[in-house]
Structure 1
């Protein structure tokens, strides 16, 4: 079961109590805040560009440790879809992006 947080304003609060699979529709640039992660849990964030595209995400950087040391570069093409996954270790989210260029 997936959950879509409300549309802007920013920041968008991604409350993992709502679902471990969530979707963010980018109708503007968005900052994200993660809450209620459970240690050992796997989370999926589906990020969809709107018909305009060019939207960006500001990640909660102090809480995410990215594979390779840097946040993934999302596809900003109109209507692009990206898939980002996280494992929560009780302190940090270990993030990786298995699909950034889905349409």
Structure 2
């Protein structure tokens, strides 16, 4: 990994962690002009849905509680329907 790629990845990780969506336009521009194909393709994908990505990087709203509830319901339905099988409890509740 080149220094430019490492710097861009670290910068994007900082934007995700600190919710700094105002830096997104500059990051996409830099990534599309000065990085290897993988990062520039990723930046192109971000640019194609810019409004959603920008909202995700600036909004403090989280859907974690809802996703946790949905996951619990799905696991319960999976167990009740019998599709979980025998290996499921071993993976779900490992022995100490």
The two structures have a TM-score, normalised by structure 2, of 0.27
Higher strand share: 1
Q: Which one has the bigger helix percentage?
A: 2
